[in-house]
Amino acid sequence: MTAKRSVVLGCGSYLPQKVLTNAELAARIDTSDEWIVQRTGIRERHIAAEGEFTSDLALHAARAALDHAGLDAQAIDLIVLATSTPDNTFPATAVAVQNGLGINHGAAFDLQAVCSGFVFALATADNFLRAGAYKRALVIGAETFSRILDWNDRGTCVLFGDGAGAVVLEAQDQPGKPSDRGVLTTHLRSDGRHKAKLFVDGGPSTTQTVGHLRMEGREVFKHAVGMITDVIVDAFNATGTTAEDIDWFIPHQANKRIIDASAHKLHIAPQKVVLTVDQHGNTSAASIPLALAVAVKDGRVKKGDLVLFEAMGGGFTWGSALVRW
Ligand code: ACO
């Protein structure tokens, strides 16, 4: 019996040109390279230029993913864009990308699950494709978090960066076995009791301002590893796989300590973990496809590899996806 799967045809990413190092931050606020590296593993992050918007970053990443897939943009009939930093309150940043690609058929919409956005968007697109509603999807994570940071709050402004990443998915009939290519399983969770632990203190309905990111860092840290590992165990159970079967673990890049602790708890070997947080910082919904693009480009991720994604973020939201490349 065959099964419809969302097979990844290509991926791409984009980082703004400007790099902001820890040393530059230390010259502006009371922090140090040593403190940031020790607590987070972050050494530098990219910052969007004035006049460079989330949709610009997303469009670059989408074009790179289409190039990598060897596809014309007209082949795409669904765009799901995960972001917490849209160009405008509305319309969706996804329609700006759709327009930039010259597509005027199919559907394009944004999805908001903060740092879990890419996994939520991947799961959403996968369900549409497997249901037969669309044929080929662009799944994009794109952020300009630099625009919602309080640059005087050293507890948060050192953590985040800007960037975008994208994958192209195509609905294909596969043999219906664990060795199938494509998205094998996705697991999404949310718990709104934690909504005040990581939030932006503004918005159209509350303050009519954009607001700034606020976070109880310790509280986030306390919950992160348990939530991440729970939802990965769900992915293992759903597919009959174990940590041994994983070729590459590509987690949301928030903090090296959270990543290391999660991999350790799950017995995922350190050499299977893709780490880019040192160079990108936390780019929220963009971090997984940015890391994926690095590991594909340098030849680590190869056809047939089993790739595990996970993310956790504001809400709280968290999720996992298991994909055969
Ligand atoms: N430089 C120097 N000192 C700092 C800085 C800084 N940038 N930020 C905070 N401190 C100080 C604090 O003021 C405090 O000083 P005090 O003891 O004199 O009061 C001290 O460092 C300890 O502060 P804590 O906030 O308790 O530091 P902690 O060890 O918890 O580390 C951190 C903070 C790195 C944010 C940590 O809590 C963390 O990683 N949390 C996870 C949060 C995260 O990754 N969020 C990303 C978004 S959610 C997600 O994507 C999963």
What value does the CA radius of gyration of the chain take, rounded to a whole number of Å?
Answer: 18
Instruction: Please list the ranges in the chain whose pLDDT falls under 50.
Output: none
Alpha helices in 42-106, H assignment, sequence order = 54-69, 93-100
Cα-to-centroid distance, 262 and ligand 1 (Å): 19
249: three-class secondary structure by DSSP: strand
pLDDT at 151: 98
Cα-to-centroid distance, 178 and ligand 1 (Å): 41
Dihedral angle sign, alpha carbons of residues 24, 29, 35, 39: negative
pLDDT at 178: 83
pLDDT at 177: 87
Q: Is 157 a residue of the active site?
A: no
Alpha carbons 81 and 85: distance in angstroms, whole number: 11
Q: Is 252 a residue of the active site?
A: yes
Structural domain boundaries of the chain? 3-174, 182-324
One of 1.20.950.20, 3.40.50.10890, 3.40.47.10, 3.30.70.20 is the CATH number of 3-174, namely 3.40.47.10
70 to each of 100, 139, 169, how far by Cα in Å? 18, 16, 12
157 touches ligand 1 (CB under 6 Å) = no
Q: Is 282 a residue of the active site?
A: yes
Q: For the residues of 141-209, what is the DSSP string, one character each?
A: EEEEGGGG--TT-HHHHTTB-EEEEEEEEEEEEE-SSTT-SEEEEEEEEE-GGGTTSEEES--TTTTSS
Alpha carbons 208 and 108: distance in angstroms, whole number: 26
> Residue 248 pairs with which residues in a beta bridge?
307
Ligand 1: residue whose CA is nearest its atom 26: 218
Question: Residue 117: which of 139, 132, 100 has the closest Cα?
Answer: 139
* Closest atom of ligand 1 relative to the 156 alpha carbon: 35
pLDDT at 181: 96
DSSP-assigned letter for residue 49: P
Domains 3-174 and 182-324 share a fold: yes
Do the beta carbons of residue 295 and residue 271 sit within 8 Å? no
262-290 pLDDT tens trace: 999 999 999 999 999 999 999 999 999 99
CATH 3.40.47.10 fits 182-324, yes or no: yes
pTM of the predicted model, to two decimals? 0.97
Could you count the other beta carbons within 10 Å of the beta carbon of residue 320?
28
